[in-house]
């Protein structure tokens, strides 16, 4: 990859695209897999997304986490197979087709034809696959799309059959009726975790209905419900045996009611003011067996002799309703359980007068064809006409909706096929603890609690586009065969060449039961798509049907790593765990990272309709993929917490991380080339050992130690999959590198100290940048590659490669780690930061030198650590002296105040006394509190963290307050800095010099000059004071600029090559600067002293001299001391310091005429 001249401003998105083209040109991903063959396998399962929509930030986040971990696994010596997968079956596709075709019911599907229906589904399944591949690759993720797996492929579906048959043979599959969350919009039951995906706040009718006792029709049992549509199917009423019930006479209506005594509030707004008479009290257990008159007689002929009486169960509570719950066994899980337990209904036959679309059937003839939710009002009106509505209200509550069709779910008994998850509970809990989750609380709390309350898993769906259940049975379900492979099906049905096992191809295939000779037909259901995705570890490789799959599975199961969002604790994580436990009694994965949800900036769910988030690719094209990746994985979302996505946050990553990193890299490259230009030698990492490089310069020692600590930390934390600790540490190192190491070493790295120091410093910086490119390669793959392609020119043979992504992470460098010195530099940084804060508070520029700063700390060792690096403190804070003291009381008085928010809650009424005592504490007492961490006040232990501690200038320094500014880190371990702001004449002049240098450097940068471009500077000002300072310190300013001393503008030669002129100001004083190309300065008058020379010929000789590059002529003059040139047949002997000078200022200083 060719890297040209580095621009001053880099377009990260453009360079990322260039890197991506380079990867494609060399086949980087494919080559990496070839290079890693034979290494230890690192197995990774990628949960399959649907390709019916484009990737959103949730996909991008999970994909980034997966890419980071798998890239890092490769970098630690593993072979990492990464195959993309597609979830191709299920409701998302079906729902879209039904909307497009206007299909609403099962009859519509059958009329259209299952084959035609599935053909339509197949056509849209991979509609956005191309876009997915383009976007995923643009985001820097390396994953194999060419050898992807699809849940619709026959090989995948066959493995799903095999999984199911294994469960069946283990006795873990059964057919039963179960009340399930049911989507009338999609005409299918949903799993419990799907039912929890989409709750909405809604208003529903809430009615209190009266049920007259059979033996005493004037006594009315009161039952409350928010689903009036279930009342026609009422079979029983249920009470709690332990609760107290009351029979009352309502004076207003003259009617007699029975309800829970604690629930009178359901009948009366204020029971204390209500007018009623208590007639009797009962225990719930006393009421069991009471018979009552049903609201409707639809089911009386069939169930009248076995239903319509009171039962008891513990699920009845008194937190709402009347304490008497109406039971409709086909529409409530507890209702079903209770009614079956007392024999009111049979497991095999239920009173369920609602069809698959949620419309009433016979025998509920009054409402046949009416959708259940629309029937609520009609049913309430019918009951009201019977005089049996006691109360009719609206109830505002949270209610589950179908996550696809957005229709309200109902609970409905359906025949379905179940996996006995409840039977596996203990093993599920045990296997869960065998894996490692990040963060841990998701494993033990959210997922652990889900497993603790596990229910049998309904794995069937009454749908069409999916893997058909491989169950052939007779009509009575007394005979059953479960098929585990296509070959087995072909053998049993007598048909060969079966290549597709979707419903349209196998529904008509009949099997003769070998044992009975009876004909068996396939059941209608297909698998829940969660069962298919949970089978991914086996089905994605067509296990166990090929030898290659069997060999690979042995090395790849359980997976080393998976990652998905928090919502998958009840989805993919769960199904993987159930199937792995059922098949092998193992966890499906060893390590799992769970990310939180990415929300819109306003905290709401991201919505295309509301347009409350920026398009991901717009963000990438504006700021770059690396910046987006870093923003996402350096946020709370990698700790399973929610993230409010802010595009400004991505922009900040570019500004605060990517640009400083680029600037440090660019700074190195520029100066490495400058060194090569000056010496003909190039930098080569590895010429010196890390210890040798670190021993020569304190900052080298520090940055090499910090790098060693970083490498150790990254390896340690990545082994534990704690991205949330790794990324902040990497980012902090980049900040340290750019804001501290490069900044504090800038003169040295630019060659201002010595050639040897220059070379060593740049070699050190190259080593750090090379290591950083490898450490960051997993996180910022594009920019790491971009920097490496140039840095490898300075790398040793062992680090030469086509791509940084073929290299391993840096080896441990624990031998260079010096934690004590790192801590000392940390204290130095703290002192410098405090000094800057103090300047900013008083608005004193860093260019203005100051006399001294006093650093105070109770621990002399802390002060000694700063003292050892004092030169940096002086330089960075532009102070001439640093004073140290351990006597804090000589400088400040400590005051304390209680934190009302914290202590107020803790202490309650005692807070006032404690608050007063805290505020009266002496400075010494506050100091003791800081040192000890707590103090007892008014009988309460008060922690230091509950107290706000401030520091005021000591009374002895009050008269100097105008000239002193304090800054403090905080806590007993923090430094205190007192900056002396007094400026005398000498300091003022030094500050003026710095301002002039700053103006020249800005002009230099504006002209695009580099260090090789030598300059001379001329000036003019109308301010005598400013002019005097510049004149007196012209040489000092010139030394800083690496130029001759500044001269007044009147001395500018008319033949000078002017780079730029500018009008500026220093303070309020005007200043004109003229920057010209540095050139040798001949004295025409003295050149004319040559034999046969005239003024005109000497002028020609001077023009020739001025045309020469100053560096070339200077070198020639220094080498020969005298040089002879011949111009127009006149020979001139050039004498440095007599008739030719290095600069105009040197000529003037020598008193030579022009």
- Which residues are catalytic, by number? 48, 87, 530, 568, 572, 605, 608
Residue 671: phi and psi, rounded to 5, are: -80, -30
Q: Is 854 helix (H, G, I), strand (E, B) or coil?
A: strand
Could you tell me which of 987, 691, 642, 657 has the C-alpha nearest to residue 815?
A: 691
Residue 452 makes CB contacts below 8 A (sequence gap 6+) with 425, 429
Residue 950: phi and psi, rounded to 5, are: -120, 160
**How far is residue 720's CA from residue 61's CA, in Å, rounded to a whole number?**
19
Residue found by looking up tokens 């070959």 in the block: 487
Residue 763 makes CB contacts below 8 A (sequence gap 6+) with 683, 684, 685, 687, 688, 693, 794
Question: ∠ CA(984), CA(987), CA(990), 5° rounding?
Answer: 150
**How far is residue 174's CA from residue 683's CA, in Å, rounded to a whole number?**
72
- Four-CA torsion 302, 306, 312, 315, nearest 10 degrees: -30
**How far is residue 503's CA from residue 78's CA, in Å, rounded to a whole number?**
41
What is the 8-class DSSP label of residue 46?
A: -
**How far is residue 691's CA from residue 816's CA, in Å, rounded to a whole number?**
6
β-strand partners of 848 = none
Alpha helices in 697-818 (DSSP H): 698-719, 723-736, 742-749, 755-775, 781-791
Distances (CA, A) of 137 to 618, 753, 782: 15, 46, 11
Sheet strands (E) in 213-269: 219-225, 236-239, 244-250, 256-260
**How far is residue 96's CA from residue 379's CA, in Å, rounded to a whole number?**
33
Is the separation of the CB atoms in 45 and 80 below 8 Å? no
Question: ∠ CA(56), CA(59), CA(63), 5° rounding?
Answer: 140
End-to-end CA distance of the chain: 53
Tokens found for residue 141: 């993720």
Is the separation of the CB atoms in 561 and 69 below 8 Å? yes
Task: Tell me how many helices (H) and strands (E) the chain has.
Answer: 45, 44
Annotate 968-1005 with three-state secondary structure: ECCCCCCCEEEEECCCCHHHHHHHHHHHHHHHHHHHHH
- One-character DSSP codes across 58-89: HHHHHHHHHHHHHHHHHHTTEEE--EEEE---
């Amino acid at each position: 990859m060719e890297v040209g001249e580095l621009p001053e401003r880099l377009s990260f998105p453009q360079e990322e695209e260039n890197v991506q083209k380079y990867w494609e040109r060399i086949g980087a991903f494919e080559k990496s897999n070839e290079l890693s063959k034979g290494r230890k396998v690192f197995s990774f399962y990628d949960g399959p997304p649907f390709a019916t929509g484009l990737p959103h930030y949730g996909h991008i986040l999970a994909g980034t986490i997966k890419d980071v971990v798998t890239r890092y696994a490769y970098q630690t010596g593993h072979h990492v197979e990464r195959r993309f997968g597609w979830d191709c079956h299920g409701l998302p596709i079906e729902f879209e087709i039904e909307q497009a075709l206007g299909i609403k019911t099962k009859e519509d599907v059958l009329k259209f034809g299952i084959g035609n229906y599935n053909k339509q589904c197949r056509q849209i399944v991979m509609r956005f696959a191309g876009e997915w591949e383009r976007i995923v690759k643009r985001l820097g993720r390396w994953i194999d799309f060419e050898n992807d797996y699809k849940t619709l492929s026959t090989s995948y579906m066959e493995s799903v059959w095999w999984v199911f048959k294994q469960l069946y043979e283990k006795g873990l599959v059964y057919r039963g009726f179960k009340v399930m969350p049911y989507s009338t919009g999609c005409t299918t039951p949903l799993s419990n975790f799907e039912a929890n995906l989409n709750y909405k706040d809604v208003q529903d009718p809430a009615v209190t209905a009266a049920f007259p006792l059979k033996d005493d029709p004037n006594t009315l049992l009161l039952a409350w419900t928010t689903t009036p549509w279930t009342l026609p199917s009422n079979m029983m009423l249920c009470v709690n045996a332990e609760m107290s019930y009351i029979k009352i006479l309502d004076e207003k209506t003259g009617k007699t009611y029975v309800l829970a005594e604690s629930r009178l509030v359901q009948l009366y707004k204020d029971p204390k003011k209500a007018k009623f008479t208590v007639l009797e009290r009962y225990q719930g257990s006393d009421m069991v067996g009471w018979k009552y008159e049903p609201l409707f007689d639809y089911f009386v002929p069939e169930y009248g002799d076995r239903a319509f009486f009171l039962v008891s169960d513990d699920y009845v509570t008194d937190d709402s309703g009347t304490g008497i719950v109406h039971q409709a066994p086909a529409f409530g899980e507890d209702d079903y359980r209770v009614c079956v337990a007392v024999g009111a209904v049979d497991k095999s036959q239920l009173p369920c007068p609602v069809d698959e679309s949620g419309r009433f059937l016979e025998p509920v003839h009054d409402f046949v064809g009416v959708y259940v939710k629309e029937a609520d009002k009609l049913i309430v009106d019918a009951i009201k006409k019977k005089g049996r509505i006691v109360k009719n209200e609206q109830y505002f509550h949270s209610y589950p909706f179908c996550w696809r069709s957005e229709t309200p779910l109902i609970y409905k008994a359906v025949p379905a096929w179940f996996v006995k998850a409840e039977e596996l509970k203990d093993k599920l809990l045990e296997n869960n603890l065998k894996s490692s989750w990040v963060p841990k609380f998701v494993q033990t709390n959210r997922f652990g609690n889900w497993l603790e309350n596990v229910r049998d898993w309904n794995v069937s769906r009454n749908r069409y586009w999916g893997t058909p259940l491989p169950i052939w049975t007779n009509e009575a379900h007394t005979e059953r065969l479960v098929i585990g492979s296509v070959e087995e099906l072909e053998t049993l049905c007598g048909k060969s060449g079966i290549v597709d096992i979707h419903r349209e191809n196998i529904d008509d295939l009949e099997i003769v039961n070998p044992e009975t000779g009876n004909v068996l037909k396939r059941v209608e259901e297909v698998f829940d798509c969660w069962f298919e995705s949970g089978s991914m570890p086996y089905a994605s490789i067509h296990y166990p049907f090929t030898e290659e799959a069997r060999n690979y599975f042995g090395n790849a199961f359980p997976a080393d790593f998976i990652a998905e969002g928090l919502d998958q604790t009840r989805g993919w994580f769960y199904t993987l765990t159930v199937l792995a436990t059922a098949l092998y009694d193992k966890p499906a994965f060893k390590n799992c990272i769970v990310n939180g949800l990415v929300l819109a900036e306003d905290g709401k769910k991201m919505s295309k309709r509301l347009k409350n988030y920026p398009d991901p690719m717009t963000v990438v094209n504006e700021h770059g993929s690396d910046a987006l990746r870093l923003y996402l994985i350096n946020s709370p979302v990698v700790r399973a917490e929610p993230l409010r996505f802010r595009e400004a946050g991505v922009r900040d990553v570019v500004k605060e991380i990517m640009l400083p990193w680029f600037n440090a890299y660019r700074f190195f490259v520029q100066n490495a080339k400058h060194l090569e230009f000056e010496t003909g030698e190039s930098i080569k990492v590895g010429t010196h050992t890390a210890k040798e490089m670190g021993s020569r310069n304190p900052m080298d020692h520090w940055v090499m130690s910090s790098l060693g600590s970083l490498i150790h930390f990254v390896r340690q934390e990545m082994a534990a999959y704690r991205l949330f600790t790794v990324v902040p540490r990497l980012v902090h190192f980049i900040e340290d590198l750019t804001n501290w190491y490069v900044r504090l070493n800038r003169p040295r790295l630019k060659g201002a100290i010595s050639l040897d120091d220059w070379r060593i410093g740049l070699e050190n910086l190259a080593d750090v940048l090379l290591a950083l490119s490898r450490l960051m390669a997993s996180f910022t793959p594009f920019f790491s590659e971009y920097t490496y392609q140039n840095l490898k020119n300075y790398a040793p043979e062992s680090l030469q490669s086509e791509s940084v992504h073929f290299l391993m992470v840096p080896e441990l460098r624990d031998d260079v780690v010096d934690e004590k010195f790192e801590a000392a530099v940390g204290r130095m940084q703290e002192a410098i930061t405090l000094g800057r804060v103090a300047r900013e508070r008083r608005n004193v520029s860093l260019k203005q030198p100051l006399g001294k700063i006093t650093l105070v700390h109770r621990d002399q060792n802390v002060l000694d650590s700063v003292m050892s690096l004092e030169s940096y403190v002086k330089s960075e804070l532009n102070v001439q002296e640093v004073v140290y003291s351990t006597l804090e009381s000589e400088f400040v008085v400590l005051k304390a105040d209680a934190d009302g928010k914290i202590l107020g809650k803790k202490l309650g009424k005692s807070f006032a006394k404690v608050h007063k005592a805290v505020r009266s504490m002496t400075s010494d007492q506050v100091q003791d509190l800081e040192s000890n961490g707590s103090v007892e006040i008014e009988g309460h232990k008060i922690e230091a963290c509950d107290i706000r501690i401030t520091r005021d200038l000591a009374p002895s320094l009050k008269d100097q307050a105008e000239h002193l500014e304090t800054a403090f880190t905080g806590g007993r371990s923090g430094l205190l800095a007192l900056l002396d702001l007094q400026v005398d004449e000498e300091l003022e002049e030094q500050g003026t010099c710095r301002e002039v240098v700053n103006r020249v450097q800005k002009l230099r940068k504006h002209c695009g000059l580099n260090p090789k471009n030598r300059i001379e500077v001329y000036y003019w000002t109308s301010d005598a004071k400013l002019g005097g300072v510049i004149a007196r310190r012209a040489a000092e300013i010139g030394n800083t600029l690496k130029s001759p001393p500044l001269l007044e503008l009147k001395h500018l030669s008319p033949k000078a090559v002017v780079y730029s002129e500018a009008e500026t100001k220093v303070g309020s004083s005007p200043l004109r600067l003229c920057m010209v190309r540095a050139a040798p300065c001949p004295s025409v008058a003295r050149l004319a002293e040559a034999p046969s020379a005239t003024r005109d010929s000497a002028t020609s000789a001077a023009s020739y001299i001025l045309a020469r590059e100053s560096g070339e002529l200077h070198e020639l003059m220094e080498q020969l001391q005298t040089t002879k040139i011949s111009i127009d047949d006149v020979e001139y002997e050039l004498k440095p310091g007599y008739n030719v000078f290095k600069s105009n200022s040197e000529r003037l200083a020598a008193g030579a005429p022009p």
